[in-house]
Amino acid sequence: MVNKAIFKSYLGKLLPVANTVNHEAAPAYALSAREALAQYAVTGTFNDTFYAGAGEQLDGVVKLAAEVEPEFLAKLAIYAAEKGHMKDMPVMLLAMLSGLESDAFARAFPRVVKSGKMLRGFVAVMRSGTTGRKSLGTRPKKMVQAWLESRTVGQLLQAMVGNDPSLADVIRMVHPKPKDVERAAFYAWAIGKPYDVAALPAEVKAFEAFKRDTTLALPPVPFQMLTSLDLSKEQWAEVALKGSWQMVRQNLNTFARKGVFEVPGVAEKLAAKLSDPETVRKARVFPYQLLVAWQMTGHTIPSVVADALQDAMEAAISTVPTFGGNVVVCPDVSGSMGSPVTGYRPGATSMVRCIDVAALVAASFLRRNRFARVLPFENHVVRVQLNGRDSVMTNAAKLAAVGGGGTNCSAPLKLLADEKAKVDLVVFVSDNQSWMDARGGGQATGMMSEWARIKRLNPAAKLVCLDIQPYVQTPAKGADVLNIGGFSDAVYGAITSFAAGKSGPDEWLRRIEAIDL
């Protein structure tokens, strides 16, 4: 008969010993330089979070960037922009890359800076002195000039929306060499210099004419350029109908104030746009953005539009994989998860909390995997009655309404181990700052000890720790553990491959490194 005491002691020796502490001074495992930099890249916003200040994030990124080669930095900037849909972090990585002796900067720039917002962000970082200089420098200046010259008039007009710096500031800084008289007239008009009226692009001519007479046809310019003008509700309806999917989603309450939904047929047409599956997928919308839009709809938003947001959610979560076997999802609902998911930003703090994202991920998994178990946790596992047939919105709202308590990542695993449950895949959505289960030094974390108990009965089980905050410690690490950051749909492919046994714990980094420069 097996001596259980000896077996337990031997198994404990096989578990990895914690080699760092987290923000609560509890034992944890440190991510490698590449893993940590990737974690910052897809979750960092350079705003204060529950545990870490903006300065700490910046210092961490700068330090880690010096430990990797330029090519990896370039690939990470591209991944953060294209897959993580991040804004600040990709241009920060690009700015650091611009000072290195490598052509990786020139190769990454066009794939990171695809919009005026990203261009202004890059210039802002370069001028801030954060990367060691307060001017663009020769190489970055040439890239910005090339960007301006390669854009259409419509793209440049869109780039004029926003400040600090404005597009006019950028033009004054880099002095682009216009390719023709039309572009020369546009640049002069944009920076307030005398220009050749006859040479102006048709879009600008139409805008200038409309400012003089608002009874004319609406000009093809971003709607933000029209907000100071006295538009009728019919004109606002036209603005809404011509707007992009994301623009409509972001401005539903504005449209209601402007009387758009009073115009016959407009509500139905906007609802059709919002709920179109193909349009939703092309918009690369985060499911939490839909949740917020739905939560913000008041009595002034027609029910047909509010319902369309729920239909859009079904399309948005279509990338969430369907797994066979026994799936358990563990959303962290502890007190720290009540903080804004993008950090505290003076005057512009997001209403979306970490718990909202965790709840939404869990509800999405349940919607696509009807028999999955959902085990919310804080000090202990919290019992919440969920139905896989309910909408994502309904289940997410139930989970997000819990909140509070300490963080004990081992609680769901202990429950499963005590039950001797059959487990194939466990997915945690957390900030990973577990401390309620802290143990003495020289040991494995509480989470890994409980995971070892599960593995005795389920040797093929896999554990995924999805971290949604810019922290670089994890309570779990090993050959059957995938640590991955962010909350875009890019994470699902890595989880699917890992869960199927087609890849190892390095799958996330492998996908980043596979990017072709």
- pLDDT given for residue 505 in this prediction: 93
* Domain membership flag for residue 247: yes
Other beta carbons less than 10 A from residue 131's beta carbon: 20
Tokens of 317: 């979560």
Which amino acid, one-letter code, is at 246?
Q
What span, in angstroms and rounded, lies between the C-alpha atoms of 109 and 102? 13
Indicate whether 440 and 294 sit together in one domain: no
Q: How, if at all, do strands 20-21 and 27-30 pair?
A: antiparallel
Instruction: Give me the phi and psi of 377, to 5 degrees please.
Output: -145, 150
pLDDT at 348: 65
Looking at the fold, whether 207 and 271 belong to one and the same domain comes out as no
Residues 250 and 366 placed together within one structural domain of the fold: no
Residue 449 lies in a domain: yes
Do both 245 and 342 map to the same domain?
no
340 and 431 inside one domain = yes
- Long-range CB contacts (within 8 A, 24+) of 413-421: 413/447, 413/450, 413/451, 413/453, 413/454, 414/450, 414/453, 415/375, 415/381, 416/328, 416/375, 416/454, 417/450, 417/453, 417/454, 420/457, 421/326, 421/328, 421/454
Q: Is residue 255 part of a domain?
A: yes
CA pair distance 65, 61, nearest whole angstrom:
6
Counted domains in the chain: 3
* 186 and 235 co-located in one domain: no
Cβ neighbors of 52 (< 8 A, separation 6 or more) are 23, 470, 471
Tell me, yes or no, whether 283 and 169 share the same domain: no
Is 146 exposed, middle or buried (CB count within 10 Å of its CB: 0-12, 13-18, 19+)?
A: middle
Cα distances from 306 to residues 22, 325, 444, in angstroms, run 41, 35, 48
**Distance, CA of 71 to CA of 343 (rounded, Å):** 29
* Domain boundary, last residue among 219, 248, 279: 219
pLDDT of residue 471: 92
Please answer whether residues 399 and 381 qualify as being in contact, where contact means their C-beta atoms are separated by less than 8 angstroms: no
* Residue 453 forms part of a structural domain: yes
End-to-end CA distance of the chain: 58
In a domain, 169, yes or no: yes
Neighbours of 406 (CB within 10 A): 17
In a domain, 149, yes or no: yes
Q: How do the pLDDT tens digits run along the chain, 517 residues long?
A: 444 443 444 344 578 999 999 999 999 999 999 999 999 999 887 777 887 787 888 899 999 999 999 999 999 999 999 998 888 899 999 999 998 989 999 999 999 999 999 999 999 999 988 887 778 889 999 999 999 999 999 999 999 999 889 999 999 999 999 999 999 999 999 999 999 999 999 999 999 999 999 999 999 999 999 999 999 999 999 999 999 999 999 999 999 999 999 999 999 999 999 999 999 988 888 787 888 788 778 788 999 999 999 999 988 888 888 998 999 999 999 999 998 888 777 766 677 889 988 998 999 999 999 899 999 999 999 999 998 888 888 888 899 888 889 999 999 999 999 999 999 999 999 999 999 999 877 789 999 999 999 999 999 999 999 999 989 999 999 999 999 998 777 888 899 999 999 999 999 999 999 999 8
The reply to whether 375 and 481 lie within a common domain is: yes
What does residue 149 show for φ and ψ, rounded to 5 degrees? -70, -25
Range of the domain at 207: 69-219
pTM of the model: 0.89
Q: SS3 of 164, please?
A: coil
Of 219, 246, 266, the domain-final residue = 219
Q: Which of 319, 341, 371 is the last residue of a domain?
A: 319
My answer on whether 341 and 290 are in the same domain is no
User: Are residues 185 and 80 part of one domain?
Assistant: yes
Clarify whether residues 362 and 503 are in a common domain.
Answer: yes
Phi-psi region of 329 (alpha: psi -120 to 50; beta: other; left: phi over 0): beta
**Cα separation of 208 and 5, whole Å?**
83
Same domain (yes/no): 421, 400: yes
β-pairing, 327-331 vs 373-374, is parallel
- CB atoms inside a 10 Å sphere around CB 78: 24
Within a domain: residue 5? Answer: no
Within-domain flag for 420: yes
